[in-house]
Amino acid sequence: MSQQITTLTFFKYPNLTEKLWAFGMMQFAHSPLKKVKGLEFYKLLGSGKKNFDPKPDWSVYGLLQVWENENAAKDFFAHSKLYVRYQNHTTHQLTFYLKSIKAHGQWSKQNPFEESDDLDASNEMIAVITRATIKLNMLKKFWDYVPISQKDLVDNPSLLFTAGVGERPITQMATFSLWNDARALKKFAYRSQNHRHAVQQTQALQWYKEEMFTRFQPYKITGEWEGFEIPKGLMI
């Protein structure tokens, strides 16, 4: 039985000094993260501007972590000197605790997400992470099409939180979204003409070198974020 969980933490940096620190940690955080007990996989993530604009948002960074079990995650957030350093440099932190429902594809030549055996049937909320490495000769076509493909996400009442992130600007991108329920996600995925066309374009043009689509059950959210209210069912 898999006890694996995933956490995704967002950090907000208030000024130039802290933004420079955050940029440096994209390199310097690797060494301490590799030594964290119970951490099976991680990704340090930058962020794009609102509505999946490819231009970097230097004030927001993310940390994706896949844990052997929840106790390992709790120990990191409660006792890690590295996490304390992140807290000291940021004004806001927001952490999503996730159990994997299904994952297709690969991330850095592997699928790190094990399907959870401990999902809560009464919890209808769903989170999605999609990521891709874009072929260099397809970059312009891809980014020209992004505003159209994401048009139906703007002001969608069922979309509770969303962010565009990535390991590298422009070429290695990911999205995170939190939805009211699977029905709302399915409605967007299959009834949105713009999104359907984006899927067709993906299949026709083959613009990804590597891609992954994952669904999670969010079961807890900690911290705070400007403009986001944690759903009551996910508060601790």
Q: Which domains does the chain have, with CATH numbers?
A: 5-226 (3.30.70.100)
- What proportion of the chain, given as a percentage, has pLDDT over 90? 64
User: d(Cα 49, Cα 213) in Å, to the nearest integer?
Assistant: 21
Give the model confidence (pLDDT) of 12-26 as tens digits.
Answer: 999 999 999 999 999
- pLDDT by residue (tens digit) across 22-49? 999 999 999 999 999 999 999 999 998 7
70 in Cβ contact with 3 (< 8 Å): yes
176-216 tens-digit pLDDT: 999 999 888 887 766 555 555 555 555 545 677 888 999 99
Distance of alpha carbon 202 from alpha carbon 217, whole angstroms: 26
d(C-alpha 74, C-alpha 196), whole Å: 39
**Chain position carrying tokens 């072929």:** 135
- Taking the C-alpha atoms of residue 50 and residue 210, their distance in angstroms, rounded to an integer, is 24
Q: Which range (50-59, 72-81, 163-172, 209-218) has the least confidence?
A: 50-59
What was the pLDDT predicted at 184?
86
DSSP assigned state of 135: P
pTM of the model: 0.89
- SS3 at position 117: coil
CB 127 within 8 A of CB 179: yes
Find the helix or strand (DSSP H, E) in which 95 lies.
Answer: strand 92-105
Which residues neighbour 81 within 8 Å (Cβ) at sequence distance 6 or greater?
32
> Can you read off the two tokens belonging to residue 47?
């962020």
